Chain A
């Protein structure tokens, strides 16, 4: 049974982890990739996957280590991308720290809207979930792994941005 002090620590961890997840959403929405990666560890791993009923298998759409993600976002200005705004709506469903409270997993429901620069029309881009692995560092909780599991598989012309 947890004593009061432990319970307070646990609640504090939950708040800080939820805040970390929400911060990553805000930073991605504002295309502050440097700020986003600052919330990630040096051995950060990122993937976008989806279950395909057509192939009856899981498909990987994007999989990078930190260097790969840095390369991806660094090259964005050299590529043509659709002039749209991606807005993520996230709700952290579950946070589960390990026994030592040095590491935690988090499951977050994710909805991404797409707003056209020309005219401002908004449509649904994708729904899915973040499956995050988060570790405690000297600088606080940081994201070590993020797996974006998409329900949506028909993504129009797609995107070059991390979700």
Chain B
């Protein structure tokens, strides 16, 4: 039955954990707080260790808290992260997204830094600064860095935050054999700038009810045995894992079973873990996809997608993994375009009518249960001090 204006605005007769107010997707104030209260204090993935394979290799990263960083492998082999800004006059230090530089030279006034963040050159320093400012006072801002869980380079702006393993709370333990038995390597990277809120992308990764969106998933998964037995497991700090399924890829006409796999993974097995506040490990048989969401504004999000295989892949094996990855992911993939189209549609409709977003499906934590999103927003509300269902209230 259609609803009138008053009925439309009524809060759902559901627990407050089972719906959210779309203000959390549109408010600049909320995003400002998210940057300070969540992104500046949690572990996020900056890149993969294979992107800085050799000493002095660097890779830039736009951190979701609004800071520009770079990751660099030192001459001692250690991977570190720093703000990508010269402490002298604030110029960007590294303009290229990746490269190799023994000394990090600011092009503006030729201040130079080494790969451990120490200032090594101040041109005509004594003449200008005498003994008031020296190289010891001009080091780069170091950012806590840990490498692991598939060789991902995690960073945290908060010097006092718990260690990465504690933050992950065991969410990736079921995937560790696949991730850490041998080195991985990135073979694909692309960035999608989408007019939507970053949480809506994480929502899409956190629920499988939307498999109806995907012809590919309907044929290869939803219609296959075991699909409705997949269960969600929630973890501390807002993370959630989806139960495994063996996917029948050949059910999509013209597609083949995936010949390759990952260590410890059954052939064609699918594992997936969503990490708070905006990262996903998506392991589908032969290729691993890592998503990292970076809010640009409340209604614009940069999503970085990485495809990974095993470092020891032969060229023929790598080509197979790339083919499998591209078949559903990548900018021309069957599924990714559809997922992004859906959150684009949500983004276009934000603030244009919708009153509440429902996360209310309860199916004993099985695949169409929306526990994954509820787990996320429970944690979000805790970090923000605001209930996602009524964000103008303070907890």
Contact = CB atoms under 8 A, between A and B. Distances in A.
B188 interface: yes
Contacts of A62: 326, 330, 332
Interface string A51-94: 01111100111110001100100010011111000000000000
Interface string B275-306: 00000000000000000000000000000000
Interface in A21-72: 48, 52-56, 59-63, 67-68, 71
Nearest to A82: B341
A71 B192 contact: no
Nearest to A80: B338
Contacts of B344: 82, 157
Interface residues of A, number: 28
A129 B188 CA distance: 20
Contact of B337 (A56, A78, A160): A160
Interface stretch (A10-18, A97-105, A148-156): A148-156
A120 interface: no
Contact of A158 (B98, B189, B215, B337): B337
B387 to A, nearest CB: 31
A157 B337 contact: yes
Contact of A78 (B215, B333, B340): B215
B310 interface: no
B336 interface: yes
Choose among A54, A63, A67, A159 the residue with the greatest number of B CB atoms under 10 Å from its CB.
A54
Given A81-B341, A153-B190, A159-B331, A55 B51 contact: yes
B162 to A, nearest CB: 30
Q: Is the interface of B mostly helix, strand, loop or mixed?
A: mixed
A59 B332 contact: no
B2 interface: no
Given A71-B253, A157-B340, A158-B340, A63 B215 contact: no
A153 B332 CA distance: 12
A52 B187 CA distance: 10
B231 interface: no
A101 B275 CA distance: 58
Nearest to A153: B190
Contacts of A52: 189
B333 to A, nearest CB: 7
A160 B213 CA distance: 15
Interface of B: 51, 59, 96-99, 186-194, 213, 215-216, 253-254, 322-323, 326, 330-334, 336-338, 340-341, 344
25 contacts: A52-B189, A53-B98, A54-B98, A54-B189, A55-B186, A56-B98, A60-B322, A61-B331, A61-B332, A63-B322, A63-B323, A71-B253, A75-B215, A75-B334, A78-B215, A79-B215, A80-B213, A154-B192, A156-B340, A157-B192, A158-B192, A158-B331, A158-B340, A159-B332, A160-B334
